[in-house]
Structure 1
Amino acid sequence: MTVTDEIAACRHCADRFAATHTAHRPAPVVWFQPGARVLVASQAPGMRAHQSGKPFDDPSGVRLRAWMGLDEETFWNKEKVAIVPMGFCFPGYDAKGSDLPPPRDCAKLWRARALDHVGEVAVTLLIGGYAQDWHLGRGRVTDRVQDWRARAPHIFCLPHPSWRNTAWLKRHPWFETETLPVLRNTIQEALR
Structure 2
Amino acid sequence: MAHGTAMLKMEEQNVDSIYSNILECRHCEAQLPCGANPVLTLGANAKILIIGQAPGLKVHQSGIPWNDQSGRELRSWLGVSEAEFYNVDNFAILPMGFCYPGKGKNGDLPPRPECAALWHGAVLPLLKNIKLTLLIGKYAQQHYLSAATNESLTGNVRNFEKYLPDVLPLPHPSPRNFIWKAKNPWFKEEVLPVLQTRVKEVLYGERT
Q: Same fold (TM over 0.5)?
A: yes
Identity of aligned residues (%): 41
Given the alignment of the two structures, is residue 114 of structure 1 paired with residue 123 of structure 2, yes or no? yes
TM-score (norm 1): 0.93
What residue is the counterpart of 2:107 in the other structure?
98
1:30 Cα deviation after fit: 2.5
Q: Which of 161, 164, 181 is residue 193 of structure 2 equivalent to?
A: 181
In structure 1, distance between residues paired with 2:127 and 2:140: 16
Aligned residues: 186
Q: In the alignment, what sits opposite 1:134? A: 143
**TM-score normalised to structure 2 length:** 0.86
* Alpha-carbon distance, 1:183 to partner: 0.6
Alpha-carbon separation, structure 1, partners of 2:126 and 2:111 = 21
Structure 2, unmatched stretches of 5+, are: 1-7, 9-16
1:161-172 matches, within 5 Å, as 161-172=173-184
Which amino acid counterpart does residue 44 of structure 1 have in structure 2? A
Q: 1:162, 1:75 → 2: CA distance?
A: 17
Cα deviation, residue 116, structure 1: 1.9
Give deviations 1:122-141, integer Å, cap 9, x for gaps.
11110001101111145310
Q: How does 1:41-80 map to 2 (within 5 A)?
A: 41-80=51-90
Q: 2:27 aligns with which of 4, 12, 18?
A: 12
Structure 1 runs of 4+ with >3 Å offset: none
Match of 1:20 in 2: none
- Kindly state the Cα deviation for residue 28 of structure 1 after the two structures are TM-superposed: 0.4
What's the CA shift for 1:117? 2.4
Distance apart, 1:15 and its partner CA: 0.8
Q: Secondary structure at the match of 2:144?
A: helix
Measured after TM superposition, the shift of residue 169 of structure 1 is 0.5
The code of the aligned residue for 1:102 comes to P
Q: Which runs of 5+ in 1 are unaligned?
A: 18-22
Q: CA RMSD in A?
A: 1.3
Taking the aligned partners of 2:86 and 2:58, their CA distance within structure 1 comes to 15
Letter in 2 for 1:80: N
